Structure 1
Amino acid sequence: MAIKITGTGSYIPSKIEKNEDFYNHKFLNADGSEINSPNEVIVEKFKAITGIEERRYIKKELVNSDIAFFASQKAIENAKIDKESIDYIIVAHNYGDIKYNTQQSDTIPSIASRVKHLLKIENPKCVAYDILFGCPGWIEGVIQAKAFISSGLAKRCLVIGAETLSRVIDPHDRDSMIYSDGAGAVIVEDTKEEGGILAHETATFALDEAHYIHFGETYNPEISDQRRYIKMYGRKIYEFALTNVPKALKMCLNKSGKDISDIKKILIHQANEKMDEAIVQRFYRLHKMKMPKGIMPMSINLLGNSSVATVPTLYDMILNGQLEGQEINKGDVIMFASVGAGMNINAIMYQV
């Protein structure tokens, strides 16, 4: 018996925002002063560090619960299940539904309840709730689904990661180029197969690190409205991640009983290409090994950082042959991993 992902689905928005689309932005420093570099140079440096060439934004008429619903439909269809048999709907997000060109986030009812409504699930025993856990939210949702199933409280869960970061970015902040929109969903259930979720690791660092990612005002001092935007201390996050994430991955691996040589792929949150590479390199260095070529599939170059959606979207893309040069096969041992606001870190060892 194993608790496994039996269906996947994702929604990748159709609107492409390329790096050159930022050439006309007025980027400013945090204190509101002008940056003494042309935008072409700013964008080129950004690409060199993050690996991002373009990102996806949702259409004006859509909100987060819509794209969570789209991904869920695909996951349910892929798993070939009756939607009425779902015991829990767990939606990981951070900013709720934000209508285009508005200032307020809408989280009542929950995104999960909205998804259940859109799916037209009648069963009142299907419990729907949201989880706010930063970028590691989807992985944490899968961990919670496993706990429900292991304890006998559920047999089948729908876990979704969906975010529309394009609605919370400051156009005067260079970091705005990192963020994107997207949704990924999976069905997690008890099966008669082998493998599944082998081990997990979760940690929250909040003594000094809680506000590394936060909501703040625009960098433009000429704007007086009260709208708040996603902000981060990039250097602190980078140093935090490189120090703590490899250790968490090692602890997760140790719990699983598997050897590091068993890992076929590491699907890590797509936040920053250079940072992700450094994390995985350090993880292998802890085992006195070099990072294997192709171990870390990347989608950030074309999709940007869609927060909770990056890992489930990446997994769905690989399973469906949509990421060139990458594949995951039955029986493969893989690792899901993420780090983000909170500051939270988590990982899952998983056998397909």
Structure 2
Amino acid sequence: MIRSVLVASGSCIPDLIVSNEDFSATRFFSATGTLIEQAPAITLERFQAITGIRERRYARPEQNASDLGWLAADETLLSSGIDRESLDYIIVAHNFGDVAEGSNRVDLVPSLASRIKARLGIQNPNCVAYDLAFGCPGWLEALIQANYYIRSGDARRCLVIGTETLSRVVDPHDRDTMLFSDGSGAVILEASTADNVGILAHHTQTYAYEYAGLLSMGKSYAPTQSESPDRFMKMQGRKLYEFALQHVPMVVKTALDKAQVPLTQVKKVLLHQANEKMDVAILQRLFQLYGEASPNLDLMPMTIGWLGNSSVATLPTLIDLLQKEQLADHRLEAGDLVVLASVGAGMNINAVVYQY
């Protein structure tokens, strides 16, 4: 049986650090355009208590999402020694394409995948490059697609990239701005005939009928910007939180059931880093589904505290940091069973069961 195995990883963590205190002079407004007069120190304290975020990373002004994606991909190829001309697919997950500093305009032609392939210097026309827009679960869905190509015999090696510059599409007058960040991560998935290794199962759902509007684009909350044509990412935070708690654990359980893996054998649960409080609640709800006691939170490595929510980049960056042993007290060993899961705009949810 052919399985899909992670053989290389890389990431681009921008070096521009933006702390919570950098927002202390920002004037935030509610969705109705009312100035939020709460003391900045209280706003920032409550924000960190709920989200776990103390700082985030932004791309440099001259960098776009495709630049970050190229850096992550190039690191993946150079560190592994894999011949880049041997790639069969390059799949790039993102949500907004390239958005130049100060423009708030989406640039999608040519695709980010084509831009990255050209910059990598890959000449092989049989290396197919395309983009995938699937909300925050986009990178994991791209991994699932690559797995299908490999399992079908259509591909031997796939480069899967998640890259985003969310700092370019957030409303500076909306407190949710503090959630989001920039970054990129990449992996190479390769065909293997080894037993009990690689992707064992996956599951994906889309709840569009009732929940498509939980994440959307809208006007700035600032009254002075009401006539501006610019649109920014908007989120119904409380409803999204409730949606995630209700549905994500069941998607994870379905994937585990497909793989015939009991929860007690899982060594790591890698969740999309959207909100620390929400991720902890999702993990607890997952354990409740199995009638298990409250989980040891060491099962779930977190990077949101210093990286923020970089959407499609969070999971591949987390994987790269784990595989390179750059997260304190977290290690991956041969035979370890890992669950990856994400939730985001659409509303989309997916989960993958993987064995190292």
> What TM-score range do you get, normalising by the shorter chain?
over 0.9
1:316 aligns with 2:316: no
Q: Whole-Å Cα distance in 1 between the matches of residues 253 and 19 of structure 2?
A: 36
Output the CA distance in 2 between the equivalents of 1:188 and 1:12. Answer: 21
Aligned to 1:117: 118
Match of 1:78 in 2: 79
- Distance of 1:239 and 1:123 partners within structure 2: 46
RMSD: 0.9
Query: Which range moved further: 324-333 or 263-272?
Result: 324-333
Deviations 1:276-334 (A, max 9, x none): 00001100111111212400000000000000000010111011121111111122110
Percentage identity across paired residues of the two chains: 50
1:7, 1:75 within 8 Å by CA — same for their partners in 2?
Answer: yes
Distance 1:331 1:2 in 2: 15
Secondary structure, in 3 states, of the residue corresponding to 1:330? coil
The amino acid of 1:258's aligned partner reads: V
Aligned to 2:208: 206
Which one of 305, 321, 329 corresponds to residue 301 of structure 1? Answer: 305
Equivalent position of 1:183 in the other structure? 184
Measure how far apart 1:75 and its partner are. Answer: 1.3
Secondary structure in 2 matching 1:133: coil
Distance in 2 of aligned mates of 1:104 and 1:165: 12
Aligned residues: 352
Structure 2 residue 48 is the aligned partner of structure 1 residue 44: no
C-alpha distance after superposition, 1:135-175 (max 9, x if no partner): 00000000000101111111110000000000011110000
AA aligned opposite 1:243 = Q
Pair 1:331-2:332 in alignment: no
Residue 265 (structure 1) aligned with residue 254 (structure 2): no
TM-score (norm 2): 0.97
CA contact (8 A) 2:3 2:150 kept: no
Find the aligned partners of 1:292 and 1:146 in 2 and give their Cα distance. Answer: 30
Runs (4+) of structure 1 exceeding 4 A deviation are none
TM-score, normalization: structure 1? Answer: 0.99
CA contact (8 A) 1:136 1:308 kept: yes
Per-residue displacement from partner, 1:238-268 (whole Å, max 9, x unpaired)?
A: 0000000011111010000111111000110
Query: CA separation in 2, counterparts of 1:130 and 1:39?
Result: 39
Instruction: Read off the aligned partner of 1:205 and give its amino acid letter.
Output: Y
Counterpart of 2:200 in 1: which secondary structure?
Answer: strand
Partner residue in 2 for 1:278? 281
1:292 corresponds in structure 2 to 296
Map of 1:117-156 to 2, 5 A cutoff? 117-156=118-157
The range that moved more, 167-176 or 316-325, is 316-325
Does the CA contact (< 8 Å) of 1:7 and 1:77 recur in 2? no
User: Hey, what's the Cα distance between the residues in 1 that align with 2:150 and 2:3?
Assistant: 10
Matched with 2:255 is 252
CA contact (8 A) 2:27 2:36 kept: no
Q: Bigger CA drift: 281-290 or 174-183?
A: 281-290
- The 5 A counterparts of 1:157-172 are 157-172=158-173
Asked if the contact 1:88–1:157 (Cα under 8 Å) also holds between the matched residues in 2, the reply is yes
Distance of 1:315 and 1:230 partners within structure 2: 26
- Whether contact under 8 Å (1:201, 1:251) holds in the other structure is yes
Structure 2 unmatched ranges of 5 or more? none
* Distance across 2 between alignment mates of 1:351 and 1:278: 24
The superposition leaves residues 31-84 of structure 1 with CA deviations (integer Å, 9 ceiling, x where unpaired) of: 111113111111111101000000000000000000000000111123321100
CA contact (8 A) 1:79 1:187 kept: no
Question: Mean alpha-carbon deviation: is it higher for 287-296 or for 201-210?
Answer: 287-296
**Displacement after TM superposition at 1:221 (Å):** 1.2
State the AA in 2 paired with 1:30: A
The answer for the alignment partner of 1:344 in structure 2 is 348
Segments of 5+ residues of structure 1 without an aligned counterpart are none
**Amino acid corresponding to residue 305 of structure 1 in structure 2:** N
Worse overlay, 226-235 or 191-200: 191-200
Q: Secondary structure at the match of 1:118?
A: helix
Q: Which amino acid aligns with 1:336?
A: L
Measured in 2, the distance between the counterparts of 1:323 and 1:64 equals 25
Q: Where does 1:21-32 land on structure 2 (aligned, <5 Å)?
A: 21-32=22-33
Aligned to 1:221: 223
Aligned to 1:8: 9
Q: Which amino acid aligns with 1:266?
A: V
How big is each residue's C-alpha offset from its partner over 1:90-110, in whole Å with a ceiling of 9 and x where there is no partner? 000000001101131100000
Match of 2:198 in 1: 196
SS at match of 1:61: coil
Task: Give me the whole-angstrom Cα distance separating, in 2, the residues matched to 1:175 and 1:192.
Answer: 45
